Every structure is written in structure tokens, then in C-alpha cells.
Amino acid sequence: MTNTKSWTTVNATSIKSSTPKDDAPPIYGVFTDQNGETVFVSGQKIGRGGEADVYRYRSDKVAKLFRTEDPEKEKKLKLLLQLVNLDNAFCLPERLLYNKNGKLAGYIMSYRSGFILAESIFQAKEFSNRFPGWTRIELTTLALRCLEAIENLHKYDILIGDMNASNIIVESPGNVSFIDVDSYQIGELRCKVGTVSPFTSPRLHGKSFKSEPRTIEDEQFATATLLFMIFHLGKLPFSNQGGNIGENIINRNFAFPISPEEIISFSKRSVWGRIWEALPSNIRNAFYRTFKQGDSVGYLEWRELLRRYLSDLERNKFSRVILPQII
């Protein structure tokens, strides 16, 4: 089992699995940044991702160093450097690092504190330990904050592409960080990474991410999945149906009912049914349209739904209890 505490100290990286060993050798590297200034990176290795290793740089900075060369990475990072008005939820590069041969070696980025979404809120036991006292107000605030950040990103012709709950850090309901931004799809520069996951839209199943560009509809599906999992503490939209999740996504075998009679029956059979029943009907309908009917629910509609729900929760129009009990 991964030690969640160690993940919180890694932060703005693309770590996917194991905790770094305490005896991992530190790096002593000399690089040049995009302005020709010398950068000394001397620090302990604190994480490892699919394409890079991450080292401590300063108390508030880390250095992400790539293990392989990718010419498109430099193009993406140079574009990201210019996005001074992008939502601060995104952990952007601050200085590019070049080796002695003038090749891109990595970049400096900020250190972000908090807990990895996939290993805190999406794990029921960890959720209660990490965020005691949270109610549906906090979950809805978190969902709205994630939605607004992604919506802001799209204004710059950027898609996350490979949505991954391990790349989202939560410090508080209104303070989240998105990491691994160098893999994003920026204009015609594609997001070439990722595996088929619950966030993968039906259209993309069976296609190569290296050659198939993501679309806004793909991102809307991934975002709806993220919102669904936030409200259901990591439960996948299609996992209740049994069998292969990928096949369930393609066939739109969404198991959460929409009719009042079926909802009541479903709520008596499982805790997920009770969570589903406790959501407002308009939010349930938006999820149903996305996962069962194949509609692309837009960000404006989601934003209005979540803001209205948050307002109603604050006025006690809905129960704030995250896990309702069987009556």
C-alpha cells in the first residue's frame, strides 16, 4: 500500500506509484535556463513518474527532469511559460532547464502542498482521516473549483487530455492543484500519453493516443467522470454494471437509475445508491445524459448546476451528509 503521507510531500509532480526510497541518491546538476542563466540543481530525489524524475530544488520549488527526449515537450513548455493569466490551480513551468548540449532536460515548478485526490478523497478510509468534518458543502465546493479551473484552461485552447486523479492535489475545498501539465494537449500539440481509463470517452477506446487528438467532447466526458467520482468518493460511473469497465463505457452501461421508483430501490441496496439518491435530480439527470445517452453536457451548464446545489446546501435545502443512512 502506498504511504499517502509521502505523496503529500511530493506534490507538483507526476508520480504514479511507489514512494521514493530514503536512500535514493541526490542530484548535483548544472543546467542553463531559457534566459541563458546557470541553474544549480542539488537536492534529494523525491519522486518518479512515467517520463521523469523529480528532485527537491528549494523549499518551495522542485525540478522535474525528463529521462527521454521529446522535441514537442519544449514547444509545449515554451507556450506554457507565456500563460501568466492561467488559473493558478495549474502548476506551470517557471524555468526551463537545458543540459550542456543545449537539449531540454526538464523544468522548475512550484511545490504544492495537499493530498493526492486519488489517494485521499477517492479512498473512503483515507477520506475520513484526511478530511474529517467534510460535508457535501465541501465536496461540492471542490467539484466546482475543479470544473472552473478546467473551464479556464480551455479558453487557451488547452485540454488536459489524460485526466488522472493522481495528478490533482487537494489542500482544501477551494484550493486544488493540477500537475503534469507538460503532457496536456496544447493547440495542435497532442497529448500522447495515457492509458484507457474510466476517464476515457467511448470515442477514444481502441484508438492510439499518439495519433488521435482529444476533443472538447472527450474532455467533457472526462470532467463529468471526475465530478461523479468526487460526489461518490471515488466510485466509478460504470463499475456497478460488472464485467469490463471499458466495454461498459463503450456500450453506455451506466447502472445508476433515473426514475424515482428505481432510485428508491437502488438506494436500499447500496451506499452508492443512497449517495446517488441524495443528489439533486438536475445533477443526476446531467450525469445520466452524459453516461447513458451520450450527451456532452457543457461547462456552463455544470457550473450553474453546481452553484445552485452549493447555494441550496448552504440554505439547508438538501442534506449535507455525505453518506446517508438507510431509513
Q: What are the structural domain ranges in the chain?
A: 7-110, 115-314
Q: What is the CATH superfamily name and number for domain 115-314? A: Transferase(Phosphotransferase) domain 1 (1.10.510.10)
Which is nearest to 198 in space by CA: 241, 248, 123? 248
249: alpha, beta or left, given left = phi > 0 and alpha = psi -120 to 50?
alpha
Do residues 38 and 1 make contact, with C-beta atoms less than 8 angstroms apart? no
Cα(166)–Cα(11) distance, rounded to whole angstroms? 10
185-186/168-172 β-pairing? unpaired
Q: Is 298 left (phi over 0), alpha (psi -120 to 50) or beta?
A: beta
Looking at residue 87, its pLDDT comes to 96
pLDDT for the residue 9? 30
86-142 pLDDT per residue, tens: 999 999 999 999 999 999 999 999 999 999 999 999 998 899 999 999 999 999 999
3-class secondary structure per residue, the chain? CCCHHHHHHHCCCCECCCCCCCCCCCEEEEEECCCCCEEEEEECEEEEECCEEEEEEECCEEEEEECCCCHHHHHHHHHHHCCCCCCCCECCCCEEEECCCCCEEEEEEECCCCEEHHHCCCCHHHHHHHCCCCCHHHHHHHHHHHHHHHHHHHCCCEECCCCCHHHEEEEECCEEEECCHHHCEECCECCCCCCCCCCCCHHHCCCCCCCCCCCHHHHHHHHHHHHHHHHCCCCCCCHHHCCCHHHHHHCCCCCCCCCHHHHHHHHHHCHHHHHHHHCCHHHHHHHHHHHCCCCCCCHHHHHHHHHHHHHHHHCCCCCCCCCCCCC
In this structure, which amino acid lies at residue 127? F
The CATH code that applies to domain 7-110 is 3.30.200.20
Residue 195 phi/psi, 5-degree rounding, is -125, 165
d(CA 224, CA 108): 31
- pLDDT tier at 16, thresholds 50, 70, 90: very low
Residue 193 pLDDT class (50, 70, 90 cuts): confident
Of 89, 37, 86, 39, nearest in space to 64 by CA: 39
pLDDT tens-place string over residues 144-173: 999 999 999 999 999 999 999 999 999 999
Main-chain phi, psi angles of 70, to 5 degrees: -145, 110
The amino acid sitting at 245 is I
pTM higher than the cut 0.95: no
**pLDDT above 80 (res 281):** yes
The answer, yes or no, to whether residue 21 has pLDDT greater than 50, is: no
If we measure between CA atoms, which residue out of 129, 137, 135, 197 comes closest to residue 161? Answer: 197
**241 or 80: whose pLDDT is higher?**
80
Cα separation, 116 vs 113, in Å, equals 9
Report the alpha-carbon distance of residue 303 to residue 297 in Å, rounded. 10
Mean pLDDT of the chain: 89
Pairing verdict, β 115-116 and 168-172? antiparallel
**pLDDT value at residue 12:** 37
